[in-house]
């Protein structure tokens, strides 16, 4: 029986991990990031992969730096190491040992969108499709030879959360279907075309702010490309207002980009964008309050959203 070590950390990793557990192979170890403080009370919280491993009585290792503790992983004598959103670069000393190598399940169609936030960037860039790539790991970021690839369409209504779930499920299915052929040495890996490589770095705080000078389609992609985390924001009268959800409104409006030009039946408000078209804001989170619909926000005071106010100043 082949011995597998799985390395992953967030929710994206869990369906892939669970699919491996259901195979004929033996998952001998789960490697994940250390517990971290979470929430306002800073409660130490285990990563989802640790919770899954403990549920299935699989040993867990949580090195702060995998480079310092790679020998503990090799002690389990894995035939293959499989990673999915683990969060650390594996050292060469680890990559070289397993008989069938170290492979990674990545949430893009490589060589496009290498890096830590491929799902966000696929939507931010307005792509119609993305996918899953399984590749051999090398010392360069997401640059190894490709073992398998599968395309996943992106619907206009998709956001990071929905696409995340689709890709995680696809990754699990593709991996389970690929491993038997990999172990039978029936796969010829293909090198990536470096000239086509693009990168999807982690989202920085300044990238979350909406630029109302952009076209309304770009702003719509910005909002759904950061939903449900980390969430796009603007400012309203100088205070941060998160924008959880919106719709495209292709009617033409006069006004300054960022200006509120219409309130629709107390359920949404329309903001002018750089191309003089609009976005219809549906869900917000004002400073110091919870996420809510615009209707809920306006129920307490219809004057809370005012025509003519310019967002983002």
The binding site for (6S)-5,6,7,8-tetrahydrofolate comprises 108-111
Q: Which residue has the tokens 């009617």?
A: 251
Q: Which residues pair with 30 in a beta bridge?
A: 6, 60
Contact (Cβ atoms closer than 8 angstroms) between residue 187 and residue 148: yes
H/E run at residue 69? helix 66-74
Spatial separation of the C-alpha atoms in residues 163 and 221, rounded to whole Å: 13
The answer to whether residues 305 and 284 touch, using CB atoms and an 8 Å cutoff, is no
Please tell me whether residue 73 adopts helix, strand or coil conformation: helix
- CA distances for 63 relative to 71, 87, 95, 268, 278, angstroms: 11, 11, 17, 47, 48
Q: Is the dihedral of CA 185, 188, 193, 198 positive or negative?
A: negative
Q: Which two tokens stand for residue 242?
A: 């998160």
As a whole number of angstroms, the distance between CA 130 and CA 127 comes to: 7
Give dist(CA 302, CA 296) in Å, integer. Answer: 10
39 three-class SS: coil
In the annotated binding site, the residues are: 108-111
């Amino acid at each position: 029986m082949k011995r597998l070590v799985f390395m992953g950390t967030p929710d994206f990793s869990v369906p892939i991990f669970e699919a491996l557990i259901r195979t004929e192979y033996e998952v001998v170890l789960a490697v994940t990031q250390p517990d971290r403080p979470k929430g306002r009370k800073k409660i130490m919280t285990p990563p989802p992969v640790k919770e899954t491993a403990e549920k299935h009585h699989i040993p867990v290792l949580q090195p702060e730096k995998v480079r310092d503790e790679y020998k503990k992983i090799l002690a389990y004598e894995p035939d293959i190491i499989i990673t999915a959103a683990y969060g650390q670069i594996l050292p060469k000393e680890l990559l070289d040992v397993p008989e069938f190598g170290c492979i990674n399940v990545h949430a893009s169609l490589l060589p496009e969108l290498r890096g830590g936030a491929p799902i966000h960037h696929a939507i931010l860039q307005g792509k119609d499709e993305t996918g899953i790539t399984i590749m051999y790991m090398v010392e360069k970021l997401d640059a190894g030879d490709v073992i398998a690839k599968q395309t996943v369409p992106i619907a206009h209504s998709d956001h990071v959360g929905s696409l995340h779930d689709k890709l995680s499920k696809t990754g699990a299915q593709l991996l389970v279907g690929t491993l038997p052929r990999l172990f039978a040495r029936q796969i010829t890996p293909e090198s990536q075309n470096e000239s086509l490589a693009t990168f999807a770095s982690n989202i920085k705080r300044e990238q979350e702010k909406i630029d109302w000078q952009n076209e309304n389609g770009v702003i719509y992609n910005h909002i759904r490309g950061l939903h449900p985390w980390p969430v796009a924001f603007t400012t309203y009268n100088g205070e941060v207002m998160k924008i959880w959800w919106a719709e495209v409104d292709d009617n033409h409006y006069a006004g300054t980009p960022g200006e509120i030009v219409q309130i629709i039946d107390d359920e949404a408000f329309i903001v002018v964008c750089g191309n003089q078209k609009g976005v219809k804001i549906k869900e917000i989170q004002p400073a110091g309050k919870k996420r809510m619909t615009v209707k809920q926000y306006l129920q307490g005071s219809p004057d809370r959203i005012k025509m003519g106010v310019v967002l983002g100043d």
